Structure 1
């Protein structure tokens, strides 16, 4: 059964949107897409500046393995440096239907 992870956060005050988009693209292509079970990833931003990333995984184990390694991976450090870490909230959902 596939798993969907959501991560919501705000950027640090000194990070410009275009700079974050570059960092986000890098973490997606150089880290996320190379992880076992990765299916897709979407990034969106609200009118008030809150960001949301949605990631689809083949299994919950694939999701857990990736998040377990995420904070220590060299490919993710530039991305993480842009995020106001105290604002991070996440959720994990099991896909239903289709």
Structure 2
């Protein structure tokens, strides 16, 4: 298996309510149960956009989770807050990893 980074950038809807980080508990819990999940880092950029880095054991496991997430938890508060048209996802093979 080739360790993979999933990089997702997005914006929240203009009228998204509540604490987005707190709302992400259900997303983090769901990810933690997925085969191949290693870690997640969610960050907010200075321009107000967000970036989500998820580390997987393989690209195949990352892609399998991406195909299921909306069907399984797409209606949770955190997912509803995201402006879907702004979502950009890419994957990269891990070339260097440090603790």
Common fold: TM-score over 0.5: yes
Give the aligned partner of residue 96 of structure 1.
Answer: 95
Which aligned segments of 4 or more residues in structure 1 are displaced greater than 4 angstroms? none
Q: Is the 8 A contact 1:6 1:55 kept in 2?
A: yes
Secondary structure of 1:42's aligned partner: strand
Give the aligned partner of residue 57 of structure 1.
Answer: 56
- Count of residues in correspondence between the two structures: 95
What is the TM-score when the length of structure 2 is the normalising length? 0.88
User: Aligned partners of 2:15, 2:87: CA distance in 1, in Å?
Assistant: 17
Deviation at 1:76, TM superposition (A): 3.7
Deviation at 1:62, TM superposition (A): 0.7
Deviation at 1:61, TM superposition (A): 1.1
Give the aligned partner of residue 26 of structure 1.
Answer: 26
Deviation digits for residues 47-89 of structure 1 (CA, Å, limit 9, x no counterpart): 110100000000111101100101111x342222110111111
Unmatched 5+ stretches in structure 1: none
What is the TM-score when the length of structure 1 is the normalising length? 0.89
Q: CA RMSD in A?
A: 1.3
User: Aligned partners of 2:41, 2:75: CA distance in 1, in Å?
Assistant: 19
